[in-house]
A and B are shown apart, each in its own frame.
Chain A
Amino acid sequence: MDRFVFLTVDGLSRGAVYAAFALALVLIWRAARVVNFAQGAMAVAAAYVAYSVSAATGSYWLGFLVAIVAGLLLGALVDRVVMRHVDHASPLNPVIVALGLVLVLQAVLGMVYGNEFRPADVPFSRSALTVGGVAVLSPYDLFVFATIGVVVCALAWMFARTAVGLRMRAAAFAPEVSRLLGVNVGGMLTLGWALASGVGALAAMLVIPTELGLHPHAMDLVFVSAFTAAVVGGLDSPLGAVVGGLVVGLLLSYVSGYAGSDLTPLAVLVLLLAVLLVRPGGLFAPVAARRV
């Protein structure tokens, strides 16, 4: 039972990160109909920038802040410099270009920082607090929950309640009509990329210290898990992405706890295939799945 509680909390903490990362994927998917396969590499790049800043200044928090800013900028840059110029007539094209970005980013990181793991700092202890003799959750887990909770709520508020959010949604749903109504659709798209990339960078900052450390490929498996989470939730649903993230986190935690951590990659693949073959629109698909 103790172990179950521990694994559940651990899974939720991991799942919160997947949720944020999946949310970032959904943001871009809704805005641009592109699954950003470069999101993992972009997030790692932001994390490396944070690493450099933290190493130079000795401040974790300054690095944390810089990572998010770097993520925002990188997202905007990728949209403006690369994705904007890709012919979206075939859905293969943006995917291939995103993969090209993966190669470039990982190579540049490897050239600058080397291809070895670097330890990543945590601002709070990762040893679990015990409640009534049961190890429940660590201060770091609390930090993860709080940060992602704030970000998810802030995004939800922004999209539902603010003028910018309304513009972004309108631009995503009906770009032509939105332009006729004076919405700068291109700008909204860039903003969407920036926000998604910023959220991705935040997720990377939170998850990398809990894994092997900083490495150009540090987010590869996280990306696959988050993609699975987004698919579980249905690529079009932000709420689905959050729930999907938590589901994937829990599943991986139980698999790793009860069956061995080596099996988690396989579990992700099986879950992804199962969801896609049984319910291609995701568990929260409102109507019959759209064929993409």
Chain B
Amino acid sequence: MSATRAALPPRQRAAETGDRPLDRGRRGSTLLRHLAVLLVVGLVLVAVSYAVEPFRNFQLATVAAYLCATAGLTVLTGLNGQLSLGHGALMATGAYTVALCQNAFADRGLTGGWLLALSLLAAVLGTVAVGAVVGVAAARLRGPYLAGVTLAVAVVVPALAVTFDGVFNGEQGLSVPVEPPPLALGAYFPYERWQLWLSGAATLLALLLVANLVRSRYGRTFRAVRDDEVAARLAGIHVARTQVLAFVVSAATAGLGGGLLAMLAQSVSPGAFSLTLSLFLLMAVVIGGLGRLAGALWGAVLLVALPDLTHSVTELLTLSPAVAQRLEGNLPLAIFGVTLIVVMIAAPGGVQGLLSRLGRGLLARWPARRS
């Protein structure tokens, strides 16, 4: 099938995969629409960064970093049907790459704003390499086997930081030197605002690429493979290649997310990328709504907001410091876990599924009410 496709002239090939001229027009407008949305969101973010206090800026920046990873996981698990419990490890790969690069630059006395971009690019590339290896293995595995392997990756990779502590400095981890905001922005430009700008810009760029990918021919093959592998194969889709591609894409975004986290925290350590992080990410995309990019946003927001919320709640209660510490560390986990189970059993569409159902319900009522 793929051979015949290659032999067809481009116009016909497009027709075969559903890209009729009409579609082509729509695809062009899809890109434009995404660009427009990106621009608006970017402007809103800048406005927000001036409106809110530095701590909120930092939190938003963290949401953006998580959003990279959850968007990638949404593509992989939601659109392509591959479960990964190892995305925390992929984030760790990105984070450590950024740490090593930034340290190498600092050691050599190199300075300049573009160095961070270079480090983030290296993080993406490094994670892509790791993701490709895992993805090739994953493409041959199904269901619980894939889950088991990626779980092993999630447990083992952070332990490598201890195994090779000459490079990764063990449990202590590495510090990540990041330059202050450029002077052109003014001497008193808050550092957190600068972090939000960087993190937001990188994330929006990544989201633009992912959103276009999802709408493209590749996105359709991802879904086709998820829904029915045999049918996809009969339709001429190279299943294994599609699965590896999905894994690589989601690894790239996870790596970027990890790199951004390293930049935000200005340090990396294996403790920050434990199995729990991998489970958090999975939970975020499931609760947000599997297979919907908007769901990835809800998930990322939850990842940041829920611990913050439980922190506020535990502060309201008068507890001994030890008890408060235990609660604060674990309450979000418990809430996440319970939510995950309840969502899986009661509302498999997640938050975004509920919202769009609600939205459709309202829209359906609207004309009726007007008439």
Contact = CB atoms under 8 A, between A and B. Distances in A.
Q: Are A and B close enough to touch in the complex, i.e. CB under 8 Å? A: yes
Interface of A: 29, 34-35, 37, 82, 85-87, 91-93, 95-97, 99-108, 110-111, 114-115, 217, 220-221, 223-224, 227-228, 231, 235, 260, 262-263, 265-266, 268-269, 272-273, 276-277, 280, 291-292
Interface stretch (B12-20, B101-109, B232-240, B334-342): B334-342
Interface in B139-157: 140-145, 147-149, 151-153, 155-156
A22 B129 CA distance: 32
A111 B152 contact: no
A99 B340 contact: yes
Given A85-B345, A96-B282, A265-B156, A292 B143 contact: yes
Nearest to A84: B345
B333 A86 contact: no
Contacts of A104: 333-334, 337-338, 341
Contact of B326 (A105, A115, A224, A273): A115
Nearest to B143: A91
Contacts of B148: 35, 224, 227-228, 231, 272
B144 to A, nearest CB: 4
B137 A277 contact: yes
Contacts of A111: 326-327, 330-331, 334
Contacts of A217: 274-275
B279 interface: yes
A95 B282 CA distance: 11
Instruction: Please give me the 4 A-B residue pairs with the lowest Cβ-Cβ distance, nearest first.
Output: A103-B337, A104-B337, A100-B340, A107-B333
Interface of B: 77, 81, 83, 85, 137, 140-145, 147-149, 151-153, 155-156, 159-160, 162-163, 274-276, 279, 282-283, 286, 322, 326-327, 329-334, 336-341, 344-345, 348
A224 B152 CA distance: 6
Contacts of B330: 106-108, 110-111, 115
Given A86-B344, A228-B152, A106 B159 contact: no
**Residue picked from B85, B153, B329, B333, most chain A C-beta under 10 Å:** B333
Main secondary structure of the interface of A (DSSP, over half): helix
A220 B142 contact: no
A227 B159 CA distance: 18
Given A107-B333, A111-B334, A276-B145, A99 B279 contact: yes
A99 B160 CA distance: 23
A262 B77 contact: no
B145 A292 contact: yes
A101 B337 contact: yes
Contact of B345 (A97, A106, A235, A269): A97
Contact of A103 (B162, B163, B329, B334): B334
A291 B142 contact: yes
24 contacts: A85-B345, A86-B345, A91-B144, A93-B344, A95-B144, A97-B340, A97-B344, A102-B337, A103-B276, A103-B283, A103-B333, A103-B340, A104-B334, A106-B333, A108-B330, A110-B326, A114-B326, A217-B274, A227-B151, A265-B155, A265-B163, A268-B152, A276-B141, A292-B143
